[in-house]
Amino acid sequence: MRATDGQLVRRVLEGDREAFGELVERYRDMVYGLGYHLTGEFETARDLAQEAFIQAYLRLVQLRDPGKFAGWLRQIALNVRRSQLRRREVATVALDAEAEPASATPQSSEIEAVLREALGRLREPERLALTLHYINGYSHGEIGEFLGVRPETVKTRLARARQHLKTEVMAMVEDTFERKKLPDEFTRETVTAALRRGRAALEDHDYQGALSAFGEAALIQPSSADAHAGIGAAWLLKHEVLEDTEAVAKARAAYEEALARNPRNEEALIALAYLEPGDKRRAYERALAIVPESAELRYLLAWEVHAAGDTAHAIEVMSAMLDQDIPLSVRVRIHNNLGSLYHDALGDPARGREHLRLAAETAESGATRNLAFLHWRVYAWVTLKDRRWADAADAALHILEAAPSDFERRNLHVLLAAAAANLGRAEEAVEHLKEAATPGPEQPGSDRWFWPYREPAPDPLEWVRAHLQDYFAPIAEDSRVHVVVGKREQA
């Protein structure tokens, strides 16, 4: 027997998030139809429907009478539309929904324009009843419950609407709404869009944005293991950013929830193994037994082998992986770690630099802009440390315009100044130091997470003063340098 709205609402409030998915499936086309009635645009109506269901879930505890969910949801959809209109008064905002399919033809656009004109001639109650009826064939009773009127009233409104529309226009209405029905994969597409926003937020180190986006995905589709794993990643990011120890427990719980939904969820398996204290080899081996195809786990296990003291075997495993078809993100990290191992642990700086350069180039070929910047910046500083002045300058110039923060921009100018000084270009070195001494608009200390070392990142000019006789030896006695370097102390 089909559960009533009231029963489903009570189940949601008791913790059964699956029940909310049933409410979404029951009313998704109804809200979509109302959205089209309000906006006259199918894509904007889809945005409105997604936002209305998210708002409904978040405010469900405020619904006094669970049996009146339909009318309450309608009011939320109306409020979402009012918010959209207010935002448009301030600025034009790009919506997050998918673009209109490329297959849409000028003819179909013309038909939709005629449809809007025809519907615009109807009285608003008749137009809304017609829209809800043809968007998914809702019955008079279902439409009446949603609108808060009797089924007989809906029947009368539909009859009047049909009378006012000519036969050929009526056929056009039926055909257009049939083509513009929400696809069966509406829920999946909504979740996919939220997951995409969550991943973007993680890449930007925005844990709050990530929690919000992944939380939306979990609300709409509680069975999504990827959504729960994303929530776990957001909590871990919060721990990294704020050193919030409570966030670790929340991350672990979210990952365990992901595995309850899908025992083979790779992200959750990796994260829970990573959260194991001490030697993680056993944890990674257990996870690898579940998803043996995971290149990520093979790489992490190799790194743990190195951490346990068998660096030669770790290098052998990671080097062999480079000859295989592995994800770009894993390839980048293997090159980066081989670079560090060869450069620092094995005393082969040339080979180390080559792997660090390959990490940067590989990241640039398909990773995020921030990740590519990070690897190029690491390569630039390592080559500077090795006195490879020209290589350091080339790398720094390559990413100067892509600096994600003013702090990073100033650090790159410091690096360029050191390289220029040692290449015999004193005038250029001084100009770069001037750039490093000129802070931009951001607050001091912001966005310093790119700094590759664990110790607190110093101000760029503090680093210059500390290394003036080392990396800047050719211009260390130049009076212009002392004027620039001392500028912040005199301020």
Is residue 372 in a domain?
no
What are the structure tokens assigned to 223, written together?
Answer: 């069975």
Torsion angle of the four alpha carbons 216, 221, 224, 226, in this order, in degrees rounded to the nearest 10: -20
Residue at a domain's end among 122, 156, 179? 179
Q: Are 206 and 234 in contact (CB under 8 A)?
A: no
Q: What is the pLDDT of residue 160?
A: 84
Burial of 166 (0-12, 13-18, 19+ CB in 10 A): exposed
Containing domain of residue 481, as a range?
388-491
**Vertex 18, ends 217 and 201: CA angle to 5°?**
10
Q: Does residue 393 form part of some domain?
A: yes
What pLDDT, on the 0 to 100 scale, is given for residue 426?
95
Query: What Å distances lie between residue 480 and 258, 416, 477, 483, CA to CA?
Result: 60, 17, 9, 5
- Domain count for the chain, please give it: 2
The domain that contains 77 carries what CATH number?
Answer: 1.10.1740.10
pLDDT at 203 (0 to 100): 80
The answer as to whether 370 is a domain residue is: no
Give the per-residue pLDDT at 169: 63
Residue 325 lies in a domain: no
The whole-number pLDDT of residue 442 equals: 58
Last residue of a domain, one of 179, 206, 233: 179
The answer to whether position 107 is within a domain reads yes
448 domain-assigned: yes
Last residue of a domain, one of 179, 203, 232: 179
- pLDDT (tens place) for every residue of the chain, 491 residues total: 788 999 999 998 888 878 888 888 888 888 888 888 888 888 888 888 888 888 888 888 899 899 999 999 999 999 988 887 877 654 443 334 333 433 444 445 555 666 676 777 788 888 888 888 877 778 898 888 888 889 899 898 888 887 777 554 666 667 667 666 666 677 777 888 889 899 988 887 889 999 988 988 888 888 899 999 999 999 999 998 888 889 999 999 999 999 999 999 999 999 999 999 888 999 999 999 999 999 999 999 999 999 999 999 999 999 999 999 999 999 999 999 999 999 998 999 999 999 999 999 999 987 566 788 999 999 999 999 999 999 999 999 999 998 888 888 999 999 999 999 999 999 999 999 999 998 876 554 444 444 443 344 568 888 899 999 999 999 999 999 989 987 544 33
Residue 407 lies in a domain: yes
pTM of the entire structure?
Answer: 0.63
Is there a domain that residue 197 lies in?
no
